[in-house]
Amino acid sequence: MRPAAAPEPGEPSLEALVKQTFGPEASRSLSDLFPTLAGDLSEMDARLRSVLTAQYPQLTDAATYACSTGGKRVRPLLMAAVHRALGAESARPILSLAAAFQLIHTASLVHDDVIDHAEMRRGRPSLPRAFGLPAAIVTGDYLFVRAFELAADYPRSIILRCGESCADLVEGEVLQEASRFDLTTGREHYFRVIERKTAAIVAAALASVAEIDGCPGPVIDACAAFGRAVGIAFQLRDDLLDVYGDPDILGKPLYADYREGNPTLISLEAYQRLDRERRAEFGRLFAIRRKQPGDLLRLRALTEETHADRIVTEEADQWTERAVRALEPLPAGPYRTLLERLARGAAVRRY
């Protein structure tokens, strides 16, 4: 096995990433697989960085900054694990693919920070704050372009899947904007948003890995279903962490969804479960465009009265089990076991 690659300054080791993101059980189960997967991630990252250089140094600096603002290796880790679970002996066939999907994801985060006026991203100033709003918008566009340059290494079907995932991201953003500060949109609308903004890109990435590996249709579909379910479970957990997480670990302030007026499952469930008087108060506070700290704390207090976090945790657990069942067509072995534990870890409550 290759020696585990050392992370870049400011990045967690693979062990730390898995433990923090998926829990200690997944980390323990990975001990024998860390060196191989860490080597895969290092190669993927090198491929990504190979396309970041622009003619203008400021654009290169901004693109590099965007791609090194922490938390960037979960999707490539899932892609590497699926690739290995399907019997691959080298990461080489999927290096450009993993880099392309990671650039799509990163570009979407840059544009999210522009839209949300975010100050921080993973414990560092967001790209708009560090480089300015115009540079951030252009950098996001640049990352999308570079992603498709990488995707050009693959068959047309893969390129189309990349394009569809980009369209899903845009549609998800439009749907989210349409429901901002509105708690009457309901669960169905919320799931339409997160399926497009979070789950679709994971599903597309893992389906593309299976296609590159020459898998039959049912296995490709299984990998897509696994990615979709894991993506939804992961987003549900992130929504919980926004209310109950540790801001030092998250690298950003809490209550971003309250502050920005994004209805998440936890706020929707809390709103529905409050009595008439408190529901009116919750709705009034949620609709305020410029909330004060006291408004945010009151929204949390009202949420806690309803125990909505239990409902969201149960929902995340259900999506986790769907993800695990989706893996049944894949060959049994340590990497499939790893994927099962990563899925279960994605929804664990750690707040």
What token pair was written down for 180? 């901002």
24-28, 100-104, 112-116: least confident range: 24-28
C-alpha angle 81-83-88 in degrees, rounded to nearest 5 = 120
User: Is 3 within the bounds of a domain?
Assistant: no
pLDDT > 70? residue 124 = yes
**pLDDT band (50, 70, 90) for residue 8:** very low
User: Is 131 within the bounds of a domain?
Assistant: yes
Residue 351 pLDDT: 46
* Cβ contacts of 253 within 8 Å, gap of 6 or more: 119, 120, 247
State the CB neighbour count (10 A cutoff) for residue 176: 23
Residue 34 pLDDT: 82
User: Is 206 within the bounds of a domain?
Assistant: yes
User: Is 185 within the bounds of a domain?
Assistant: yes
Domain tally, the chain: 1
User: Is 66 within the bounds of a domain?
Assistant: yes
User: Is 147 within the bounds of a domain?
Assistant: yes
* Cβ contacts of 333 within 8 Å, gap of 6 or more: 85
Do 192 and 171 contact (CB within 8 A), yes or no? no
User: Is 2 within the bounds of a domain?
Assistant: no
State the CB neighbour count (10 A cutoff) for residue 206: 29
User: Is 174 within the bounds of a domain?
Assistant: yes
* Alpha-carbon distances of 144 from 97, 100, 147, 186, 195, rounded to whole Å: 13, 8, 5, 32, 20
**pLDDT tens digits, residue range 203-214?**
999 999 999 999
For residue 321, what are the domain limits? Answer: 14-346
CATH (domain of 310):
1.10.600.10
What token pair was written down for 20? 């923090």
Residue 73 pLDDT: 77
**pLDDT band (50, 70, 90) for residue 2:** very low
Residue 248 pLDDT: 75
Residue 6 pLDDT: 39
* Cβ contacts of 62 within 8 Å, gap of 6 or more: 127, 130, 131, 135, 136, 138, 139
